[in-house]
Structure 1
Amino acid sequence: MASHQQDLVSRPQPSGLCDSRLFQMKDHCNDSFTVMNQLRKDKQLCDITFRIGSQTFLAHRVILASASPYLRAMFTCGMKESSQEEIELRGIEARAMDFLIDYAYTGEVMITTDNVQDLLPAAGILQLKELKEACCSFLGDHMDVTNCLGIKQFADLHSCPKLLRQANRFTVMKFIEVIQNDEFLQLPHVVLKEILENDHLHVDTEVQVFRAFLSWVNHDVEQRTQNAFELLDLIRIPLIPKNFWTDAFQQEPLFKQSQACHAYIKGYLMGLNNDTLPKKTRTPVKTIYTIGGRNCQRCLSSCERYIAEEDRWEELPPMKQVRTAVAAGAVDGKLYAVGGECETKFAHEGTLYLTSVEYFDPIHNAWVAAPSMKLQRSFTAVAVLNNKIYAVGGETTSLCYKSVECYDPRQKVWITIPDMQIARSGAGACGINGKLYVIGGQDRAIHHSTVECYDPNDNTWRLVANMHHARSGVATVVYENHIYAIGGRDRHRQAYYDVVERYDPKTNTWEAFQSLTHPRAWPSACMFKGDIYVTGGYDGQYRLKTVERFDKVEKKWKSVADMCEFRAGCGTAVL
């Protein structure tokens, strides 16, 4: 029989047939863990018992060691628990342990509002990193103005830095709503101190910050008066009118109960300490905002901003008006959306070209209508110069414009200034050295390489040096005293550009710069924290959600987090 078997394996094999074959059992791991979990439930072959209070939990060491680095070290590194049949665990709730053991066998756990506060600390103790992160994400998704302060303290207690940053940012952005909830009144004074120190609270006036402080003190005057002066010192006293302080000094019980607070405000009213008081206005944290545009299906009203410390984008309230081919600019702490176009309700009505303008107020997290332009402008170029918004060129169905309008947010009115020498749609625009530059664009007949410069002092336009590449759909930024022209297209050549050029106003010359990693027509661009960022665009096939940043140290373009939405013809500004 042996020689027969030897003959079977040694005889010549058919052509093309391998002399070995790997067999894999389908779903082996899942089936094995299912069997082992059933053995645990049936209390068979278990070799470890955990005790939490009066409850015990049976399991298999090897399964728990494979899931938890903490337990693996306990069982294998010579600790006394490695030889114990029963181990008492502290710091973990019994109901959480039941979930965690089941998680070790199945890789699944149902996170709920009832169990997340038990699961997260237990997952941290057992070093179940992915589960802890899932619990943090769950809490972040359920954050609102009634619980953000509790989540903030919970995240701090259990070393969840990402969740803590999210809670801090939420509290700062929603401060006016947060302080109206009981959770605010229960804060420890050290937590309130951290909040009042923040330069970026979203408030209209410093009076709102003082009233929040006062409501916290008055909630438990006897206990909190001792901490009142330390907190009052964080209020930006000079930003509040003196007549307000005169009334508060006379009427508020705090200034009678706290000698330190009494002396502090009295000294201010007498002008004794005014030079040493903090006068910095609280302003929202600056970041990149991107608005509107078009994806592969529709025009967009959506808005999102970049969370730099987490390299991600978050969605914001949408604009009141759907807009693609929209331009954006930031003035006086507001993000303006200017013009653009959108689909009409019925296809036979064609495209609606917009005169309308609106702005986003980050303090109130809302869009507000602003005065409309005189003309409908799609693919207009927008630049901010001397705290005024310039809307340059653009188009409607029948023509491209030479005309330019200027908006002063203080006067709340659009005025016309002299026309450019050349009609331009889809141009880029920026302000530098007190002058307005308009770059490229197209007038239906040709794509331009020409560049014009407007000097507000003499109210005239003049042509300066041409770019090397004629293009429309070009984005522009100012960086280190140069103008950068980024991406774009030439319709007549069917070219979509990754090209970047830069212009030196001193020498009136253009030179090539490092190309983008990807062609982009109708992207948007901005300067943020000293770097150039380019968002979205169209590469000839697809509308993009990708974002690039120029690394000035390594001198190359790098990808950062994708936007939430695919966008071409979008607007971007830093606010």
Structure 2
Amino acid sequence: MQNKNQKTESRRFAKNGKTEYKNRSWKIGNYFYNNNNNNLFNSNKIQPRKEEKHKKVDGGDVFLSLPSDQVVDCIFSDKLLVQSEAKVFESVMRWAKHDSASRDCFLPQLMEHVRVRLSEALPFHTLKSDMLNRYKPGYGDKVILVVGVFDERSKCTEFYDPKMRRWVNGPNMISKRWKPCLAVVKDNLVFAVGGSSDRLKPVRTVEVLDLSSEMPCWKPSVDMLVERHIFGVGVINNCLYAVGGHNYSDKELDTAEVFDYNTQEWRMISKMSTRRSDPGVAVLNNLLYAVGGNDESLRALNTGECYDPSLDTWTPIAKMSVRRSQFSVGVLDGILYAVGGHDNYNCLNSVEAYIPSTGVWITIADMHVARFRAGVVALDGLLYVTGGSYNMIVVDSTEYYSPETNTWTIVTDSTKFAHTSTGLIAINRPRYFKT
């Protein structure tokens, strides 16, 4: 049965050739984007440049020269003056063909904003089948959420769309916090857990961002039982685990706790065998791994252990090849990666991978940039590393690792905001996400 929205769309498509989107009033050829207004949640602030005399419109030279992000903002607007949506479609196709080698990859996102009727879309359906597959809407794709993009104690968040290669501002958090841990529960709930306040005091507070809502905003969630700073989190079966860390009462922590989303309660679980602040924490095959970090003497560790929720026990695993604290971990294709960090003496650009089937660590290619306290996330078969610090200097670069080639590649369109944070996570592209 069609829902209300589907029926509304059907009525739109059933109308005759008259313009259906009455607020389409800007001319494509005279559209210019205001770079200061790129907030995802304030896209209505986009401004056109005043029309110039003798300027051609409807996909002319000006439109063909626009970068991809400005094309998206142009065709997404309700204030676009066109005779029919077919003109928008034709302009987008001309824009792509103008430099097909570098622009074809943007067509899936651009087509999401073309409000073309079925009859007007017929030329599109004459494309070859392999091209049609490439141009399917991109909902369900991943984007990256980053916290702490202006400075380490900021409320600000930012999204990165790797397909459109564009950074977009996200909703501000409720309170400033340094190094919160991020986790996704039930596919659309992003939890920002613990960290420290703007006065560098470890906190128990938790915030949650519901990505399924129309206008997502951060809201308070249930506080942890223990104040935790520089710790790690993982999610197993919609249960959120917080592991290790540091606070002023117990210094380096060997404790861990779990939040059950169904009961909305935190409870303590078995302690680790070793106190660990700044550990790397990740989930592999429904097991929780805690590796490296600092012990109570602030010595970097190379040991690791694995928690089985069904047994409530921790088991030692193989040691890493080097000691690492303030490093980052990521899981890609069933392999756990330990990235960069510090060994008490040097900032590291080395990376190693733990293969659970063999129970051993192997060394892989070094990063281009040595960094600690970086953000790491797996996305589309690649491992992205962004931000971090190097010798007291904040790093503003991003690079990604390809397991197929065992190589790292610098991302040329790195974030414009230098930051050091492990507050980095991949999320499903929400339907409201318009880049």
**Scaled by the length of structure 1, what TM-score is found?**
0.55
Q: Offset at 1:192?
A: 11
Residues 139 and 557 from structure 1, CA distance in 2 versus in 1: closer, same or farther, beyond 3 angstroms? closer
Given that residues 291 and 301 in structure 1 are in contact (C-alpha distance below 8 angstroms), is that contact kept between their aligned partners in structure 2? yes
Deviation at 1:443, TM superposition (A): 2.9
Matched ranges for 1:490-501 at <5 A: 490-491=343-344, 493=345, 495-501=346-352
Contact 2:242 2:256 in 1 (8 A): yes
2:166: which partner in 1?
A: 312
Deviation at 1:534, TM superposition (A): 1.1
Aligned to 1:133: 66
For 1:521 and 1:566, how far apart are their aligned partners in 2? 14
| Deviation of the 1:449 alpha carbon | 0.8
Pairwise mapping of residues 65-144 of structure 1 onto structure 2 (< 5 A)?
112-115=48-51, 119=55, 121=57, 124-125=59-60, 127=61, 132-133=65-66, 137=70, 140=73
Structure 1 residues 433 and 150: alpha-carbon distance in aligned structure 2, compared to 1, 3 A threshold: farther
Distance 1:422 1:139, change over 3 A: closer
SS of alignment partner, residue 118 of structure 2: helix
Matched residues in 1 for 2:160 and 2:235: separation?
Answer: 21
Deviation sequence 1:356-405 (CA, Å, 0-9, x none) = 11122223332222111111111110112222211101112351111111
Larger proportion of helix: 1
Answering whether residue 198 of structure 2 is matched by residue 338 of structure 1, we say no
Match of 1:290 in 2: 146
- Quick check: 1:411 aligned with 2:269? no
Using the TM superposition, give the Cα deviation of residue 504 of structure 1 relative to its aligned residue in structure 2, in angstroms.
2.1
* Aligned twin of 1:508: 359
Of 470, 479, 488 in structure 1, the residue corresponding to residue 323 of structure 2 is 470
Runs ≥4 residues deviating over 3 A: 111-114, 116-120, 127-130, 141-144, 146-155, 160-171, 187-194, 282-285
CA positional deviation for 1:169: 5.9
Map of 1:323 onto structure 2: 177
Residue equivalent to 1:180: none
- Equivalents in 1 of 2:236, 2:144: separation in Å? 19
Give how far 1:564 is off.
3.6
Matched, 1:546 2:397: yes
Letter in 2 for 1:565: F
- State the Cα distance separating 1:326 from its structure 2 match: 1.6
User: Relative to structure 1, is the Cα distance of residues 527 and 188 closer, same or farther in structure 2, using a 3 angstrom cutoff?
Assistant: closer
Amino acid in the other structure paired with 2:266? W
Partners of 1:118 and 1:410 in 2: how far apart? 63
Q: For 2:417 and 2:353, how far apart are their aligned partners in 1? A: 29
C-alpha distance 480-191 of structure 1, shift in aligned 2 (>3 A): same
Contact 1:304/1:564 (CA < 8 Å) preserved in 2? no
Q: What secondary structure sits across from 1:318 in the alignment? A: coil
Residues of 1 paired with 2:52 and 2:210: CA distance? 35
Change (3 A) 1:338 1:511: same
**One-letter identity of the residue aligned with 1:409:** Y
- 2:92 equivalent to 1:156: no
Contact 2:72–2:113 under 8 Å retained in 1: no
Larger RCO (alpha carbons 8 Å, 6+ apart): 2
Unaligned runs of 5+ in 2: 1-26, 31-46, 97-102, 123-137, 428-435
Aligned to 2:223: 372
The change in CA–CA distance for 1:413 and 1:189 in structure 2 (over 3 A counts) is: same
Distance 1:455 1:313, change over 3 A: same
**TM-score, length of structure 2 as denominator length:** 0.71
Secondary structure of residue in 2 paired with 1:565: coil
Aligned-pair distance for 1:294?
Answer: 6.8
Tell me the CA shift for residue 512 of structure 1. Answer: 1.0
Aligned length: 352
> 1:191 Cα deviation (Å)?
9.3
Contact 2:147 2:421 in 1 (8 A): no
Deviation at 1:121, TM superposition (A): 2.7
1: CA distance, partners of 2:81 / 2:189: 27
Q: Distance in 2 between matches of 1:515 and 1:563?
A: 22
For the Cα contact (< 8 Å) 2:150–2:156, is it kept in 1? no
Structure 1 segment 517-556 matched on structure 2, within 5 A: 517-556=368-407
- Higher gyration radius (CA): 1
* 2:422 matched residue in structure 1: 570
- 2:119 and 2:181 mapped to 1: Cα distance? 41
Partner of 1:383: 234
Superposed displacement of residue 463, structure 1: 1.5
Farther off after superposition, 564-573 or 434-443: 564-573
CA deviation string 1:460-510 (max 9, x = no partner): 11212111111111111222332111111123x2x1111111112232221
Higher strand share: 2
Partner amino acid, structure 2, of 1:389: L
- Counterpart CA distance in 2 for 1:485 and 1:554 is 18
1:496 match: secondary structure: coil
State the distance in 2 between where 1:476 and 1:463 align: 18
Task: Give the 3 Å change call, closer, same or farther, for CA 151–467 of structure 1 in structure 2.
Answer: farther
Q: Do 1:299 and 1:342's aligned partners in 2 also have CA atoms closer than 8 Å?
A: yes
SS in 2 for 1:156: helix
